[in-house]
Amino acid sequence: MRNNLEPRGIGQRRNRVRLFQSTAGLLAAAVILLPWHHAGANSGVDCLNSGPDLVVGDIFDAISYGSIGNRAAFSIGTDVCNVGDEVVNWIAETPDHPVFDRSLYRVHDGRIQQIGLTWLKHGFGAVQDDSCGCGCEPADWSHLGVGCSDAYNASWNGMQSLSGSRLEVDPWPAAFPFPPDGWEDTGDTIFRRLNVLHDDMDPAVYPGAVYFAEAHVLTPHETVSGNQLNNFSSRRISFVPSGDTWVLVLEDQTIVGQPVLRTWADMDPDVFVSEIQVPGDGRVLIAVRVQDEGDGWYRYEYAVENLDYGGSIRSLRVPFSEAATVEGVSFSDIDYHSGDSVAGTDWLSQIDDSSVTWSTDDWSTDPWANAIRWGTTYSFSFRANIEPIKGLIELDSFMPGMPSDMTVVSLVPRTEPIDPCTLPPGPCPRDINGDLQVTTDDVLLVLANWAQCGDGTWQPIGDIDQDCCVTVNDLLMLIDGWGQDCRPKGACCLAQAGCQDELLEEDCLAIGGDWQGDESQCATANCPELGACCLTDGSCVEDVLPESCVDQGGLSLTGGQSCAECPLMADACADASEVTEGNVAFDTRLATTDGPIDPECAYYDEGEIGNDIWAIYSPAANGTLVLSTCGTADYDTDFAIYDGIDCVDQVVLGCNDDFEDCPDYSSYLEVPVLLSNQYLIRIGGWEEGNFGTGTLLIELNEDE
C-alpha cells in the first residue's frame, strides 16, 4: 500500500529501512526494507492534539502462517501515527516504548465473539513517515516525531521473539517490565501469534458470518496527557480456506480510533453500546443486541469488552421481572495460549427470581481465574419472554481493592412487576414439570392445583391457556397434546447437501447432518449446496460439496454454478490456461508465489510478483495488446507478459504494478504482439501476501 493522496507512476515506490538491534544480538545488524504505505481511512484523523498521542492509523497487511492441528496462525500489520504535538518516546530495551495488541472477532446470528488473541509486539524504533497526513516533523530512531507515523508490517508483528505476555502489562498507565518474561523465545507456527480454531472460520459452521480485526497501541509516554482514548482501530476481514490452512484477507478500510464493539454498532443499528470509565483506571464497553423472535420471546446477546481496565471483570448480572421466564443461557470466552496461565474454565450461570448472573472465581480463590482481562471480550446470552427496556446491569471487578458492583445503562428485560398471566407461554406450555414430555406427571400437577387462580402477582402451576386459573380447559388442552415431544427441533443441513426442517438434534446427527439449532429453518440456515470446484491446476469438478472442495485446495462455487464460471486461477506456469479477448475474471487468493524474479519489473522489490497465476494468450492478428486491471480489482495488482510460452526460459515483454491514472494501485500495460506468436500472462500482487480477485481486460488493437 502507498499514499493514495500522492499519485505515483511506474517504479515510483518509496522504500524505508528499519534497523533493529536486539538486547542479545538476536538480529545484530539486520537491515529490512519495508514498504511505505498510507491508508485512505486516515483522512479524518484529528492532528496535533495536546501532548504525545498515538493512534492506529491503519491495519494494512496480513500473513497466514499455516496450521498446527485445528488452529491456524496469522499476523496483521499496524501503522501507528503520532497525532499529538509532542514526540513519543520509542526507546528500545527500556519500559518506555509502545506495545501492540491485536485481536480477531466474528459476528454471526446477532452475536459477536472474540476468536483470536495474540501476545504483545514490543516496539523497538521509529521510522518517520507521514501516512496520517498530519505533516511529519521527523525526530529520531528513539522518538516518533510530531505528525509522523511508523509501520510494522505483518511479518514484524508476527515475530515471536519480539513478543511479551499481556499479563505483565498494567494497561491504563501502560506500565510493564522490560525485557518481558521469555523475551526472544520462539516456538511452533501458532506460538504467541494470532491463532484461530478452524471451525471458528468455517462458513459451513458459521454461514454468513462477518469478521473483524482489532488493533490497540499502548505507550506509557502518552498516559501523562490522558490520550489513551483513541488507541483502538478496527477493520473488516475475511477468511478463505486453502487446503489444510486458511488465508486472512483485509476488507474495506480501517476504522481509526474505534474498538470493534463500536464498529459492530455502526454496522447494526440494533446494537446498543455503553461504557464504564473506572475512576483512575481504564474502560469497559458493554454491547447488547436484542432480537425479537416472535410470539413474545426475545433473545438477549451481551458482549463485555475490557478495553484497558487493569482490575478485570469477574461477574455480570442482568435483572428482569420476577414474572419472566428465562432459558437458553450461554457463555463464550477466548482461549489464552503460549504459556499464559489464565484458566479456561467457563463462567457459571445462575438464574434466580429476578436476575441472571454469570461469574468466575474471585481473586482470593484463584488469582488466575478466567476473568475478563484487558484486551479480551466475553459473550453472554439468554432468551426471555419479556421485551427490552433501558435498565442497569452490574459488573464486579476481579482484582482486590478495585470497584465492585459497577452499574451501567444497557438494555434489559422489563424489571417492574408484571402479571405473569399476561406474558407469552413457554415453548411447550403443556410440559408442566419441565421434562420435555407431556405425560401423566403433568396431569397430576394440573389436578393438584385444580381451581387455583392467580391474583396478578403469580400464576398457578397448570395454567396452560394463560387465563390465570387452572380449569377444565387446561385439562382438555393437556389431553389434546398427550404424548407431545417438547425437545427442541430445527433445521438439519444434510451431509450430501440440502436441508430438512423440524428435526431433533439427535435425529439430525444420526443421519450425519449438522443441526442448526432450536427453531432454526432451512429457509435461513444457508446449508451447503453442491457446486463447481475450481482447482489451481486449471481443472474443475462439478457437483462438489464446499467442504470437499476446500479439502482439495480449491475454490467452491455454490448455488449450482458450473465449471464455466470458474475464474482464471492456474497457480503454476505449466498449468496455464488459454484466454481470449474480453473481461476475464481472476482469483489469486489460493495462489503461491513461484514465478521468476524479473529485474525489469523491480518497482519495490527485486522484481517478484507475489501470489501469481498464469494464462496463455494467442493473438488473432498483429497489433497492440492492452492488459488492464484499472479499477477492477480488490487488491494491489502487479502483472507481466512474456514472449512465448516457455515456462523455463522466459523473456519479459512488459510489466506494470501501479499505473498513474488507475485507482487503488491497479495496473495497465500495452505491448506489441504478433499473430504468429503465443504469450504468457502472469497476474499477481505487488509483494508476497497481496492477493484477491478482479477482472483482467484483454483487448487487441489490430494494426492497420
CATH (domain of 393): 2.60.40.1170
Residue 664 burial (10 A CB sphere; 0-12, 13-18, 19+): middle
Among 678, 675, 676, 681, residue whose Cα is nearest residue 654: 681
3-state secondary structure 426-495: CCCCCCCCCCCECCHHHHHHHHHCCCCECCCCCCCCCCCCCCCECCHHHHHHHHHCCCCECCCEEEEECC
Which run of H or of E encompasses 293? strand 283-294
For position 13, what pLDDT does the model report? 26
- Beta-carbon contacts of residue 187 (< 8 Å; ≥ 6 apart): 160, 338
- Same domain assignment for residues 560 and 571: no
pLDDT in tens, 307-321: 999 999 999 999 999
- CA angle at 370 for the pair 364 and 373, rounded to the nearest 5°: 95
Q: Which of 121-135, 305-319, 621-635 reaches the highest mean pLDDT? A: 305-319
- Same domain assignment for residues 306 and 170: no
In degrees to the nearest 10, what's the CA dihedral of 30, 33, 36, 41?
Answer: -70
In a domain, 656, yes or no: yes
At 367, the amino acid letter reads P
Average pLDDT over residues 25-52: 50
- CA angle at 528 for the pair 524 and 532, rounded to the nearest 5°: 135
pTM value is: 0.71
Lowest mean pLDDT among 15-24, 325-334, 348-357: 15-24
Average pLDDT over residues 453-463: 87
- Same domain assignment for residues 291 and 239: no
- Beta-carbon contacts of residue 233 (< 8 Å; ≥ 6 apart): 55, 56, 57, 58, 59, 214, 215, 254, 255, 256, 257, 258
- Same domain assignment for residues 256 and 298: no
- Same domain assignment for residues 343 and 251: no
For position 61, what pLDDT does the model report? 87
- Beta-carbon contacts of residue 27 (< 8 Å; ≥ 6 apart): 20, 21
In a domain, 421, yes or no: no
- Same domain assignment for residues 65 and 154: yes
The CATH number given to whatever domain includes residue 656 is: 2.60.120.380
- pLDDT averaged over every residue in the chain: 88
Considering only residues 636 and 43, tell me which one the structure prediction assigns the higher pLDDT. 636
In a domain, 474, yes or no: no
Label residue 3 by pLDDT band (50, 70, 90): very low
Task: Find the domain containing 580 and state its range.
Answer: 567-702
In a domain, 190, yes or no: yes
For position 41, what pLDDT does the model report? 39
CA distance 375 to 396: 17
> Is-contact 19 31, C-beta < 8 A?
yes
Residue 401 burial (10 A CB sphere; 0-12, 13-18, 19+): exposed
- Same domain assignment for residues 379 and 235: no
Domains in the chain, number: 5
- Same domain assignment for residues 237 and 357: no
Phi, psi of 32 (to 5 degrees): -115, 125
Which run of H or of E encompasses 380? strand 376-384
Q: Where are the beta strands (DSSP E) in 474-617?
A: 489-493, 499-504, 514-515, 531-534, 540-544, 555-557, 577-579, 582-587, 610-617
For position 375, what pLDDT does the model report? 97
CA distance 283 to 231: 12
- Beta-carbon contacts of residue 700 (< 8 Å; ≥ 6 apart): 581, 619, 620, 621, 623, 624, 625, 626, 673
In a domain, 456, yes or no: no
In angstroms, what CA-CA distances link 541 with 326, 572, 589?
49, 19, 19
At 85, the amino acid letter reads D
In a domain, 426, yes or no: no
- Same domain assignment for residues 673 and 650: yes
In a domain, 504, yes or no: yes
CA distance 334 to 104: 10
Q: Which of 44-48, 252-256, 550-554, 601-605 reaches the highest mean pLDDT? A: 252-256
For position 244, what pLDDT does the model report? 65
- Same domain assignment for residues 596 and 669: yes
Residue 295, sorted as left (phi over 0), alpha (psi -120 to 50) or beta, turns out to be left
> Is-contact 517 490, C-beta < 8 A?
yes
In a domain, 444, yes or no: no
Helix residue spans in 168-253 (DSSP H): 198-201, 220-223
- Same domain assignment for residues 109 and 254: yes
- Same domain assignment for residues 308 and 372: yes
User: Residue 654 pairs with which residues in a beta bridge?
Assistant: 641
Average pLDDT over residues 46-61: 92
Count CB-CB contacts under 10 A for residue 44.
10
> Is-contact 641 680, C-beta < 8 A?
yes
> Is-contact 398 318, C-beta < 8 A?
no
> Is-contact 508 492, C-beta < 8 A?
yes
In angstroms, what CA-CA distances link 415 with 100, 319, 323?
42, 7, 9
In angstroms, what CA-CA distances link 576 with 262, 616, 690?
46, 6, 20
